Amino acid sequence: MTTQALPRVLLGDEAVALAALHAGVSAAYAYPGTPSTEIFEFLAAHAAGLGVRADWCANEKTAYEQALGVSMAGRRALVSMKHVGLNVAADPFINSALVEIGGGLVVAVADDPGMHSSQNEQDSRYLADFARIVCLEPANQQEAYDMTREAFDLSERFHIPVMVRLVTRLCHSRALVEARPSRDQNPVEKAADPADWTLLPSISRRLWKGLLDLQPRLRDYSDHSGYHTLAINDGGPVGVVTTGLARNYFLENRGDLEVVPPHLHIGAYPVPDALIRQLSDGVDRILVIEEGYPFVERRLRGVLPHRWEISGKEDGTLPLDGELTPDSVRTALGLAPRPRITIGDLDLPGRPPQLCKGCPHRDSYDAVAEVLGGYDRSVVTSDIGCYTLGALPPYQAIESCVCMGASVGMAKGASDAGLRPALAVIGDSTFLHSGVTGLMDAVASDTDMTLLILDNETVAMTGLQPTVLPAGRLRPIIEGLGVDPAHVRVVDVNPRDNRQLVGAIRSEMEHHGLSVVVAVRECIEATKANRRKEREGGRA
């Protein structure tokens, strides 16, 4: 099978995946996370016929490390994740900038300004800058395709990982993409010198110096990148800088401007200082429009002398939080608001997100509520997944959600501090992602706490991806970590009779030491999807 016959009206995520396939990628690794999930899903759907390895991984760090191994073998690898996933992968990501990358290594990171499905709005360009690597930022689906292809070439040219930074609106909107002919996969070719991959301090000092010496070449690449455009237009005292998707919002309003200002669009990083200086010639003020943090705006303050006025998110010309919109950019450009159709007061009921009807977590939270009713100094920490909705009415069953796996360590800390009983609630996939190491600490201290793993046998929240290990493998892992087998309980969640689950949680919370209860029932949406697949399989 070739990908030449695939449809070309693609999500931004799909354009990245198709580009990787056409760039001769040999392997792709990911952990699901909105809005990046569809990159891997598209690639995996077409990988087998092309001899490309595609694995969902335990977490973003393990995914990144596997991609790094592929690169060490001289072949091309794509690793994809959401922005907060890059925090998990930050250790190998930052350090891999020092090694002598062999096969092209591209990290596609999807940021989520506006927090549609995330706990923060962090901007991955800062991490690319921190690692001192190249970052490409597409403004549309075609650029997502073109930049991903170029990212593999750049990675091999400069021997560094290269980031492609996306944002939600681009990931999840479609447009026509013109593809180019595929390239073959690289042959396996081991790195010539192991010292280029061994970050012992004496070697790291040499490699770090090498990375610093590379910076002028990276800046020179960026200064001459074809992804930047500089148009002087009608001239005038204000220059506009856009990055990524923000270009679209500027162009949408440009036709209404009496004087079209000089405009620099930035598509690649390091920030092209030479182009900024060119733009600044002849203007007094520069308005920076960028999705995410005021990354370029802050940089400009360092590049340009004080006589230039810099406007953007830091001075309140644009909102510092949330997504940009054509309207917020319009106001920043000094245009009057567009006429609106105002609809009178509509008394619509609120529709907060809820656990699905028939969701196994409903029964588990009922059981938790029944047990905790008897305590007045309990604490329930929780984690990231569908079960986080247990924070909302009618359950209001959990008291924290910070980052993947935090529930376990936080319950230990709360118990250490004297809050008991301490209950940590986590899903099966999140437990395998990064709850395991927290449990190891609790084992080491035999902490007085209970870990409740809600095993719904899938990664439900991001669209029913498979959990990296199936349900039956949890008990041996938990016992293997050293939890007393007498206090590891695996219980089926029975929607008609919750007594067994209530009894297991109650008795383990009364136990003064570490205990784990695994509450097992498949996500109802996964059950429906599996039945649908069986029916369709039967018809075929």
Contact residues: ligand SF4, CB under 6 A: 355-356, 359, 361, 386, 456, 460, 523-525
Residue 360 beta carbon to ligand SF4: minimum distance, rounded to whole angstroms: 7
Q: Where are the beta strands (DSSP E) in 137-201?
A: 162-167, 174-176
Euclidean distance between CA atoms 474 and 439, whole angstroms = 13
Closer CB to ligand SF4, 180 or 531, in the complex? 531
- Burial call 358-384: b when 16+ CB within 10 Å, e when fewer: ebbbbbbbbbbbebbeeeeebbbbbbb
Closer CB to ligand SF4, 243 or 407, in the complex? 407
Residue 355 beta carbon to ligand SF4: minimum distance, rounded to whole angstroms: 4
- Burial call 15-26: b when 16+ CB within 10 Å, e when fewer: bbbbbbbbbbbb
SS3 at position 244: coil
Closer CB to ligand SF4, 61 or 82, in the complex? 82
The tokens for 24 are 């001769």
Residue 456 beta carbon to ligand SF4: minimum distance, rounded to whole angstroms: 5
The tokens for 513 are 């030491």
For β-strands 379-381 and 449-455, DSSP reports them as unpaired
Closer CB to ligand SF4, 356 or 477, in the complex? 356
SS3 at position 6: coil
- Burial call 90-112: b when 16+ CB within 10 Å, e when fewer: bebbbebbbbbbbbbbbbbbbbb
Backbone torsions φ then ψ of 204, nearest 5 degrees: -60, -35
Residue 357 beta carbon to ligand SF4: minimum distance, rounded to whole angstroms: 8
Closer CB to ligand SF4, 333 or 523, in the complex? 523
Residues 6+ apart with CB under 8 A from 89: 59, 60, 61, 63, 64, 79, 81, 107
Closer CB to ligand SF4, 15 or 468, in the complex? 468
Residue 452 beta carbon to ligand SF4: minimum distance, rounded to whole angstroms: 15
Residue 359 beta carbon to ligand SF4: minimum distance, rounded to whole angstroms: 3
Euclidean distance between CA atoms 433 and 435, whole angstroms = 6
Residue 523 beta carbon to ligand SF4: minimum distance, rounded to whole angstroms: 3
User: Within 13 Å of residue 9, how many CA atoms lie on the same side as its CB?
Assistant: 2
DSSP designation for 465: B
Residue 386 beta carbon to ligand SF4: minimum distance, rounded to whole angstroms: 3
Closer CB to ligand SF4, 92 or 390, in the complex? 390
Closer CB to ligand SF4, 223 or 525, in the complex? 525
